């Protein structure tokens, strides 16, 4: 019987209170309330395109700005991914995706390597999308990658509309992760000559 790849994470600080549940073998069902409407929208897209079931509730100090909530949600989500994927035996490990979003083209490549690394190439032209500061977009992905112990490269190849750029990145990340956590029927061990990820 296949082991369930589910993780529940609670993160409480003086700035945020987060409850999160992630199922890697879901169907894209979500219940998300971060207090940041645009971030909710992006996480819904991520889960839908990754076929992950995701529940998030966050109470944060949004009267200050979106920084603490966005960062802590990314940390909690990365921790949940690392826990749910477990020892990584038999998974594909690598994933990549190109997503065209109208006039924008986005690329994501990742490795569930156990070695956190983050590279982002691209720019946003406006200071915020909805309530979310655009500075926090790359910071979200960086915090997520570090917490998940993942190597993550994201590139805005081109585009004009900031909403399209960000949406394409979240969709591409979902699709790339879906590929990376997929089981490879020909493998029973981790995909590394070291024998450990």
Q: What is the predicted pLDDT for the residue at 187?
A: 87
Q: What is the predicted pLDDT for the residue at 2?
A: 67
CA dihedral 197, 120, 171, 31 (to 10 degrees): 80
CB neighbour class for 112 (10 Å; exposed up to 12, middle 13-18, buried from 19): buried
Q: Which structural domains are found in the chain, ordered by start?
A: 6-181 (3.30.230.40)
Residues of the chain where predicted confidence (pLDDT) is lower than 70: 1-2
Q: What is the predicted pLDDT for the residue at 192?
A: 84
Give CA angle at 26 (21, 27), nearest 5°. Answer: 125
Q: What is the predicted pLDDT for the residue at 63?
A: 94
Tokens of 68: 């603490």
Q: What is the predicted pLDDT for the residue at 117?
A: 98
Contacts of 143 (CB under 8 A, 6+ apart): 71, 74, 75, 78
Q: What is the predicted pLDDT for the residue at 119?
A: 98
């Amino acid at each position: 019987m296949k082991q369930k790849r589910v993780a529940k994470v609670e993160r409480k600080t003086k700035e945020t209170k987060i409850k999160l549940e992630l199922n890697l073998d879901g169907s894209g069902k979500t219940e998300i309330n971060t207090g940041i409407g645009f971030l909710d929208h992006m996480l819904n897209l991520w889960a839908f395109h990754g076929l992950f079931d995701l529940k998030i509730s966050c109470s944060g100090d949004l009267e200050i700005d979106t920084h603490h909530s966005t960062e802590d949600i990314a940390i909690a989500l990365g921790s949940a991914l690392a826990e749910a994927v477990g020892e990584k035996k038999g998974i594909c490990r690598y994933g990549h995706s190109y997503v065209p979003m109208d006039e924008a083209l986005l690329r994501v490549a990742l490795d569930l390597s156990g070695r956190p690394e983050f590279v982002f190439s691209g720019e946003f032209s406006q200071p915020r999308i909805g309530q979310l500061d655009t500075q926090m977009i790359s910071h979200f992905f960086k915090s997520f990658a570090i917490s998940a112990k993942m190597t993550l490269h994201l590139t805005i190849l081109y585009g004009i509309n900031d909403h399209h750029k960000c949406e394409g990145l979240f969709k591409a990340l979902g699709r790339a992760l879906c590929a990376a956590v997929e089981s490879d029927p020909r493998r029973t061990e981790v995909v590394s000559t070291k024998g450990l990820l």
